[in-house]
Amino acid sequence: MKKKLLFILSVIILVTACEKSTDSPETDPLAEYRRELLENVTNNIIIPTHENLQNKVEILSNKALDFSSDPTLLNLSELRDAWVNAYMSWQSVEMFDIGKAEEISYVSSMNTYPCNPTQINNNLLSQLYDLNQANFPSWTAQGFPALDYMLYGLDADSNMVLNYYQGTDATKYLTYLNDIISQMKMNTDLVLQYWQTNKESFISSDGNTSTSSLNLLTNDFIYYYEKGLRANKIGIPCGVWNGFQVYEIGIEAYYRQDISKKLALESLNACKDFFMGKGINSEILGFSYDNFLSALADESVSTDITNGLSEAEIAINNLDNNFRLQLMQDNLPMLDAYDELQDVVVLLKVNMLYSLNITVDYQDSDGD
């Protein structure tokens, strides 16, 4: 395959940039490789990750119903476990903000943090809310972060949390809890249905234009790595853009506390698996960005990226399981983890995109 691609590269040098941007295999000989990458990612990563999340959210919904009919400590514990499992599964899905997901603001409604406890309490007590509203106040009162607050943040003691679901306003708390989960379930079903219905057209869009599938997918992947992982999970909490003043409430799973590192590592591993083309439900490596870059005689770029991801994983593993404690006790390891993640941003956003002849389609306002 490498010999064939080297020949193809010699042909590409002779064609114009316009010709490279068409979907015709005659003028765009790399289309078949983009299609192979899209086929692997769609069938072995994107759809299975959404199916896994759908399953976890279904379990979460069932546990919420069990808890609603019998609000005991045991059922609260099982509901919390289901929430953690679904949140972990979400880490492999968030990067795919394409199509229906983008249309319904899926990512924002599922994982905008920090949540707004005042908005949550106003919603559930007034019972005047519309979780379909696509705006920031609505997003901060639903999804995984809102459940984090409702399952762990109402009080520090589990028995005291349980009192909210057994007291005078218990019906309102239980209704809102189930409405949040129902919204998550409905949106997850919609997004999965979109991928199942449109996978063939997504794969067949194998050109190299700003609206072609690989260009959109690659930009979304890099955007997620840069913003969703590097900035949101690490950079903002440790104060990179705020004079290094820590912002502890900005960590993911703020109220549960001890899973923030697990979520960050799950997110990083999802990025690594995506780059390497690793199937979600198997150890099989399909055609990937790693293969594409290596075949384009840019193997050093691929090696640098994989090494950089490994260094970032080491840095995150060095953190306390509880990011709140890490921030309060010693912020320097958090800043080190940010730096390791940032090194990979440059490799993805500059080196990889140059090799693949893809243009960044979003604005960077971080100032870094």
C-alpha to C-alpha distance for 78 and 240, rounded to whole angstroms: 37
Q: How far apart are CA 98 and CA 202, in angstroms?
A: 10
CB 334 within 8 A of CB 326: yes
Ramachandran class of 299: left when φ > 0, alpha when ψ lies in -120 to 50, beta otherwise? alpha
Contact (CB, 8 A) for 277 and 221: no
Q: What's the pLDDT score for residue 6?
A: 39
Domains and CATH numbers, the chain: 48-204 (1.20.1420.20), 208-368 (1.20.1420.20)
Cβ(345)–Cβ(195) under 8 Å? Answer: no
Residue 27, pLDDT > 80, answer no
Is a pLDDT exceeding 70 seen at residue 233? yes
Q: CB under 8 Å to 275, separation ≥6 — which residues?
A: 221, 288, 289, 290, 305, 306, 309
- Taking only the tens place, the pLDDT of each residue in 87-132 is 999 999 999 999 999 999 999 999 999 999 999 999 999 999 999 9
Q: Is residue 277 a contact partner of residue 287, using CB atoms and an 8 Å limit?
A: yes
SS (H, E, C) 316-343: HHCCCCCHHHHHHHCCHHHHHHHHHHHH
CA atoms within 13 A on the CB side of 63: 22
Distance of CA 200 to the CA centre of its chain: 23
Return the pLDDT at 15.
33
pLDDT of residue 321: 97
How far is residue 176's CA from residue 164's CA, in Å, rounded to a whole number? 12
Asked whether the bond before 117 is cis by omega within 30 degrees of 0, the reply is no
Backbone angles phi, psi at 247, to 5 degrees: -125, 75
Q: Is 141 helix (H, G, I), strand (E, B) or coil?
A: coil
CB 326 within 8 A of CB 319: yes
Q: What is the pLDDT, as a whole number, of residue 4?
A: 38
Q: Is the pLDDT of residue 3 over 60?
A: no
User: Which residue type does 102 have?
Assistant: E
Q: What pLDDT does 5 receive?
A: 41
Calpha distance 296→279 (Å, rounded): 23
State whether the Cα torsion 79-82-86-88 is positive or negative. positive
Q: What are phi and psi of 189, to 5 degrees?
A: -60, -40
pLDDT of residue 119: 98
The region of weakest confidence among 213-227, 239-253, 319-333, 353-367 is: 353-367
- At residue 36, the pLDDT reads 96
- Please name the residue that has the structure tokens 């006790």: 329
End-to-end CA distance of the chain: 38
H helix or E strand, kind and range, residue 164: helix 158-164
Q: How confident is the model at residue 173 (pLDDT cuts 50, 70, 90)?
A: very high
Hey, what are 239's tokens?
């104060």
CA-nearest of 305, 310, 330, 312 to 320 is 330
Query: pLDDT-based confidence at 247, cuts 50/70/90?
Result: very high
- Picking from 99, 346, 339, 97, the residue whose alpha carbon sits closest to that of residue 219 is 97
8 Å CB contact between 296 and 288: no
CA distance to 98, 199, 233, 288, per residue, from 44 (Å): 17, 12, 26, 11
Residue scoring higher pLDDT (26 or 317): 317
Rounded distance, CA 184 to CA 60, Å? Answer: 10
